[in-house]
Amino acid sequence: MRKTVFLGTVAAASMVAGIGMADTLADVKARGELNCGVNTGLAGFAAPDANGNWTGFDVAICKAVAAAVLGDPSKVKYVPTTGQTRFTALSSGEVDVLARNSTWTFSRDTDLRLDFVGVNYYDGQGFMVRKDLGVTSAKELEGATICIQTGTTTELNLADYFRANNMNYQPVNIDSNAEGEQQYMAGACDAYTTDASGLAATRAAFADPENHIILPEIISKEPLGPAVRHGDSNWGDIVRWTLYALIAAEEYGITSKNIEELAKSSQNPEVQRLLGTTDNLGAMIGLDAEWAKRAILASGNYGEIFAANIGEQTPIGLARGLNAQWTQGGLMYAMPFR
């Protein structure tokens, strides 16, 4: 069901045709563009450069989905969302996919009517402090002032952690990562808490990273993943299996470099199914046979995306850790393509 609202003043130019609640795939195809909700600016995960081109780990998911569905990874409209507006943007239909390092929790999955389709980054909440404070454990933060981003699960975890350990703290509420860094650098808070990946990225960008340490305690599980609206299972399947395609590709050694060659020559039946050489898996989710191939070509397999945006070679410098393939001792485990 599509409708076009026409308002005389701002003419057709600024109008975007409607989004059906029931059939997101048809709407995305009709629109020729994927609306993807991303962070307003978090280095490594999603940030616009000076020309407005978006890059990052989350952005790569958007590109892969767009490539799978529309055949072109550039057909994405990035909708910057704040911590406050992200879930509403999804449920109101403003975005089709929310790839904004959001934590998969029970209440979000049920009460907020979202469907998390998978996990693209296993994270946990940590603390960063200045070395000269002499603090070596989060347990020593009694009475400390702690910078915390409002509207995130970290805010709740922090309250729970200090309550559970019977400690006091003074929160300083901030509303963006940039502001958090500013406050922390100026010494307006003793500790900065957010996802460990964010801390690492923040610390890496400091002029003097050696003077700051990340405390060993990880106080929560933060499985970050893309989410879609509840109630459109087919669209959820598409996003979920696009993510799995990226993860599986790494497992089978399919990279953006060798993909064409493997598509022709690979004898591995799983690879053949994934790349659409045999069996038309795509038809089962309303796409064509080569959907996964295009998704992988968009910015490479999961490992390539990780390495290019947040890996050890980048300024962010994150190790794979939990996010290694299950074969390497990590948690990244794509369901079988069969």
Partner 1 sequence: MSETHAQTVAFVRDTMLAPEPPPVAESGAVKWLRENLFSGPVNTVLTLLGVAIIWFLVSHFWDWFAHSVWNASSLNECRQIIIETWGEGARGACFAVIRERWNQYMFGFYPSALYWRPTMAFGLMFVALAPVLFSESLKIRRTVLVVTAVVTLWAMVQLNAPGAWLVFAAIVLVGGLAISERHVSWLLIFSVLYPLLGVWFLWGGSLWGPIMVLVGPLLGWAAWTLVGRFSALLATVAAIVVTLLWWLMFASRAAADAEGLLSLAIPFVRSDQFGGFLLAITIGVAGIALSLPLGIILALARRSDMFLIKSMAVIFIEFIRGVPLIALLFVASLLLNYFLPPSTNFDIILRVIIMVTLFSAAYMAEVIRGGLAALPRGQYEAADALGLDYWKAQRLIVLPQALKISIPGIVSTFIGMFKDTTLVTFVGLYEPLKSMSDAVRANIAWKGIYWEPFIFVGFIFFIICFGMSRYSMYLERRLRRDHR
Partner 2 sequence: MADVSAPAEPPFRLSMLIYDRRYRSMTFQVIVFILVMAAAWWLVNNTIRNLAVLGKDFNFGFLFQRAGYDIPQTPIPYTSDDTHLRATIVGLLNTLIVSILGCIAATVLGVAVGVARLSNNWLFARLMTVFVEAFRNMPLLLWILIIYAIFTEILPPPNAYRGEDATASMIFFDNVALTNRYTAIPTLAMTNDPGSLDLGARITFNWATIAFVVVLVGGWFVRRAILAWAQRVQDATGLRPRTWVMNLAVMTVPSLFLIFWFGLHLEAPELRGFNFTGGINVQNGLVALWLALTLYTAAFIAEIVRAGILAVSKGQTEAAFALGLRPRRTMKLVILPQALRVIIPPLISQYLNLTKNSSLAIAVGYMDLRGTLGGTTLNQTGRELEAIVLMMAIYWALSMIISAGMNIFNARVKLKER
94 touches, from partner 1, partner 2, none (C-beta below 5 to 8 Å by class): partner 1
Burial of 10 (0-12, 13-18, 19+ CB in 10 A): exposed
Q: Are 288 and 238 in contact (CB under 8 A)?
A: no
35-94: contacts with partner 2 (CB under 8 A) = 83-84, 87-88, 91-92
**Residue 62 CB, nearest approach to partner 2 (Å):** 23
195 touches, from partner 2, partner 1, none (C-beta below 5 to 8 Å by class): none
Decide if residue 211 touches partner 2 (CB under 8 A).
Answer: no
Q: What is the distance between the alpha carbons of residues 98 and 270, in angstroms, rounded to a whole number? A: 29
Bridge partners (DSSP) listed for residue 42: 46
Residues of this chain that bind partner 1 (CB under 8 A):
1-16, 18-21, 40-43, 47-48, 50-52, 77-82, 84-85, 88-89, 92-94, 176, 178-179, 181-182, 185, 205, 207, 315
Helices and strands of the chain, counted as H and E runs:
13, 12
**Residue 181 CB, nearest approach to partner 1 (Å):** 7
321 touches, from partner 2, partner 1, none (C-beta below 5 to 8 Å by class): none
114-143: contacts with partner 2 (CB under 8 A) = 133, 141-143
Q: What is the distance between the alpha carbons of residues 338 and 25, in angstroms, rounded to a whole number? A: 22
Decide if residue 227 touches partner 2 (CB under 8 A).
Answer: no
Decide if residue 297 touches partner 2 (CB under 8 A).
Answer: no
45 touches, from partner 2, partner 1, none (C-beta below 5 to 8 Å by class): none
The token pair that represents 57 in the structure block: 């780990």
φ, ψ (nearest 5 deg) of residue 289: -70, -30
Q: What is the distance between the alpha carbons of residues 33 and 250, in angstroms, rounded to a whole number? A: 27
The site map against partner 2 for 169-188 (x = CB under 8 A) is xxxxxxx------xx--xxx
Residue 1 burial (CB count, 10 A)? 10
Residue with structure tokens 């400690």? Answer: 167
Give the SS3 label for residue 325.
Answer: strand
Binding site for partner 2 (CB under 8 A): 21, 83-84, 87-88, 91-92, 107-108, 111-113, 133, 141-145, 150-151, 155-156, 158-160, 163, 169-175, 182-183, 186-190, 229-231
